[in-house]
Amino acid sequence: MERQKTQVEEIGRELYDIRDENRPDYQVAPGLTEEIVREISAGQNEPEWMLKLRLKSFKIFKKLDMPAWGPSLHELDMDQIVTYVRPKADMTDDWRKLPDDIRNTFDRLGIPKAEQESLSGVGAQYDSEVVYHNMKEQMREQGVIYADMQTALREHGDLVKAHFMKLLPPSDHKFMALHGAVWTGGSFVYVPAGVNVELPLQSYFRLNAPGAGQFEHTLIICEKGSKLHFIEGCSAPQYNVLNLHAGGVELYIREGATLRYSTIENWSKNMLNLNSKRALVEKDGAIEWISGTFGSHITMLYPSSILKGEGARSEYIGVSFAGKNQFLDTGCKVIHAAPNTSSTMSSKSISKAGGNTTTRTSVTVQPQAKNSKSSVLCEALMLDNLSRSDTIPGMDIRTDEVDIGHEAKIGRISEGSIYYLMSRGLSEEEAKAMIVRGFVEPVTKELPLEYAVEMNRLVGLELEGAIG
């Protein structure tokens, strides 16, 4: 008898796929040349050191090879990518001042409503520029800075210069070099010592222009003993040409500070999402990465934590869901560089209808990182045999005084679990839905309620038929 499969619907994307008419104020020509890099820089009215950094990055980009690992990026033709698109909108702190189409887009995505109800501040980027940025007055009074990167460059130039692309140097890899050459937009956050930002800040990145790239830069500095939850959301409508996202996120977490960095990514299926994120954590500080990856054609995303100070810790909780023609290569990297540091990684992946998930992790324990602990757990749910799910962990341990564990499991929904739940009165559909929700629950429970609801909606699981 043919084995029946669990049926899981594609994630409903209607909301995200509504396109605005592409009528930019200005855009550079497709491709990447030194002239384009200079043109972007000139348009940003930025300091000379930034132009030098862009030109240096461009040279490195030309020299570096494409990655020899991970999903194939052969479809990417940089000559077809438009690296800067300026929307017809000036940055404002009043949603009403935005053009109707842009405002309606963010309304549909629920950003202004979320700002009112549950956030300390919001930044909204449309194509290559931030169009809205605002923060509650109370945060300003406490000395918190939350600004778009161009404003931060003008008003806090020394602070930006001391940190910008220091954690993510352009020599790191080809797409970091690309980012260094053409970055625009993004957010800058500075949380003074001892300040607890009680409600999250959120930056939302929307890419509307077909064939364009988005290269925003996020720089966050949490001073001693401070606390912040930063939420990043991103989406784009579907086109039949490739779009490219190569953002950069640098997080500096000083002694005793805690930063939670949550991302819900729902790019369209024509997007190459090659983002880089890195945190430097000092003594007794903590970084908590919460990551949901649902969209994109190809994603290569591995937030990394450098545990520089004694007692620093890193936590990563990630879920990815790959459907047809998706290659989601995600995970986390941790470097234990000081004694008594600890890290945990918990990764969940679901693949269906020919989708491909890869969980790629690394744990490095340097010789001086005595008494460090690391625990890695990767779980993969396969919903059919058209799909793939791979786990590729790496561990480099250079001392004996450690406690390192790694576990991975792969399989489909257990018939025994379904049977058990049905014996307790649940219908088969309810039982399956409960199991899948339970599978991703470690991620959703770490998000504020509104975002957990969004993630559950993104999972959008509709279960039919029987488990084979």
Partner 1 sequence: MKLRNLNRIQIPTWRWLGMNEAALETDMPLGTPYRGGALSGAGSVELRHDFAPAEIPNLPADLGRLRDFVQEHQNYSLHLTIPEDVQCEQPLILDFLLDEASSVLVDNIEVHALAGSRADVVLRYRSAGKGARFHGGFASLRAEMGAQVRLIKIQMLDEEDIHLDGTAITVEAGGEGSALCCELGGGQVVSGCNVLLAGKESRGGLDTLYLGSEGRTQDFNYRLELRGPASQGEIVSRGALSGSAKKTLKSTLDFIRGASGAKGREEETVLALSDRVVNLSTPLLLCGEDNVEGAHATSSGKPDPAKLYYLMSRGFTQREAKRLLVEASFTSIINKLPTPDLRDAVRQKIREVVHGEH
Q: Which residues bind partner 1 (CB under 8 A)?
A: 3, 5, 68-69, 358, 360, 362, 367, 370, 378, 380, 382-385, 387-412, 468
As measured in angstroms, the least distance from the Cβ of 408 to partner 1 is 5
CA-based angle 321:451:324, to the nearest 5?
Answer: 20
Cross-strand pairs, 39: none
End-to-end CA distance of the chain: 10
User: How far is residue 369's CA from residue 244's CA, in Å, rounded to a whole number?
Assistant: 38
As measured in angstroms, the least distance from the Cβ of 302 to partner 1 is 9
Q: Which is nearer to partner 1, 41 or 341 (CB)?
A: 341
Q: Which is nearer to partner 1, 253 or 337 (CB)?
A: 337
3-state SS class at 250:
strand
Q: Which is nearer to partner 1, 177 or 201 (CB)?
A: 177
Q: Which is nearer to partner 1, 219 or 300 (CB)?
A: 300
As measured in angstroms, the least distance from the Cβ of 20 to partner 1 is 38
As measured in angstroms, the least distance from the Cβ of 320 to partner 1 is 15
Q: Which two tokens stand for residue 151?
A: 């404003």
Q: Which is nearer to partner 1, 118 or 399 (CB)?
A: 399
Q: Which two tokens stand for residue 110?
A: 């629920």
User: How far is residue 364's CA from residue 36's CA, in Å, rounded to a whole number?
Assistant: 39
Could you tell me which residues come within 8 angstroms of residue 140 by beta carbon, excluding any fewer than 6 positions away? none
Q: Which is nearer to partner 1, 23 or 409 (CB)?
A: 409
As measured in angstroms, the least distance from the Cβ of 264 to partner 1 is 26
As measured in angstroms, the least distance from the Cβ of 358 to partner 1 is 8
Q: How many CB atoms lie within 10 A of CB 392?
A: 15
Q: How many residues does the chain have?
A: 468
User: How far is residue 114's CA from residue 110's CA, in Å, rounded to a whole number?
Assistant: 6
User: How far is residue 48's CA from residue 266's CA, in Å, rounded to a whole number?
Assistant: 36
As measured in angstroms, the least distance from the Cβ of 245 to partner 1 is 21
User: How far is residue 428's CA from residue 102's CA, in Å, rounded to a whole number?
Assistant: 43
User: How far is residue 29's CA from residue 16's CA, in Å, rounded to a whole number?
Assistant: 26
DSSP 278: E
